[in-house]
Structure 1
């Protein structure tokens, strides 16, 4: 015959082992969740830092690119102006710089005439 005390002891022991196993599984799950949360936080921090580094580097590159573009623009405008002056001189026989000086002299002469006329 089965001893009821032994049976109850065996059931209690099995229940305690079951509770212990369930508790272990729950703690392992909570630990995994916590570890995952930490790793997500670290990954977000790393991604944020990398993005900030990229933004900083991009800002430096933008400054360099703007300077290069401005230099290229000045060079192109200088070349275009030089070619225009050569073409203007070849077709009209007039040097643009001399024409500009002539315009300044005419403007100055006009100012002087206006001053004399006002007297």
Structure 2
């Protein structure tokens, strides 16, 4: 027969097992929360480092790209100038360098004429 003492003992035992189970579940939950926050912190650190690495690499690539663009620009301007000189020579029969020298000579001649005009006043 079941006595009140056995019932109380069984209830206490079940209560202790329940408390132990609840405590275990709570601790497991807190442990999971703690582990999760640690992993989030580590993930943030890793992501931050990766972003810094990408920014650094991007800065290096930008410098390289700027140099390539400058080189390409110089090359294109050189080709354009060469083609212009060729077209100018083909249409006018005058070499562009010789034309520039001619302009310089005309400018110097004009200065000389202006100086002579001032002296004769």
TM-score by length of 2: 0.88
CA displacement 1:47-98 (0-9 Å, x = unmatched): 1111211111111111111111111111111111112111211221111111
Alignment partner, residue 72 of structure 1: 72
Q: CA deviation at 1:6?
A: 2.4
Q: Which whole-Å CA distance do the structure 2 matches of 1:81 and 1:111 have between them?
A: 29
Alignment partner, residue 84 of structure 1: 84
Q: Which whole-Å CA distance do the structure 1 matches of 2:93 and 2:77 have between them?
A: 22
Q: Which whole-Å CA distance do the structure 1 matches of 2:44 and 2:59 have between them?
A: 22
Alignment partner, residue 27 of structure 1: 27
Unaligned ranges ≥5, structure 2: none
Alignment partner, residue 51 of structure 1: 51
Unaligned ranges ≥5, structure 1: none
SS at 1:2 equivalent: coil
CA displacement 1:4-23 (0-9 Å, x = unmatched): 22221221121011011001
Q: Which whole-Å CA distance do the structure 2 matches of 1:89 and 1:10 have between them?
A: 114
Q: CA deviation at 1:110?
A: 1.9
Count of aligned pairs: 119
Over 6 Å off, 4+ runs: none
Alignment partner, residue 63 of structure 1: 63
Deviates more, 1:107-116 or 1:52-61: 107-116
The two structures, once aligned, show a CA RMSD in angstroms of: 1.4
Alignment partner, residue 41 of structure 2: 41
Alignment partner, residue 103 of structure 1: 103
TM-score by length of 1: 0.90
SS at 1:98 equivalent: helix
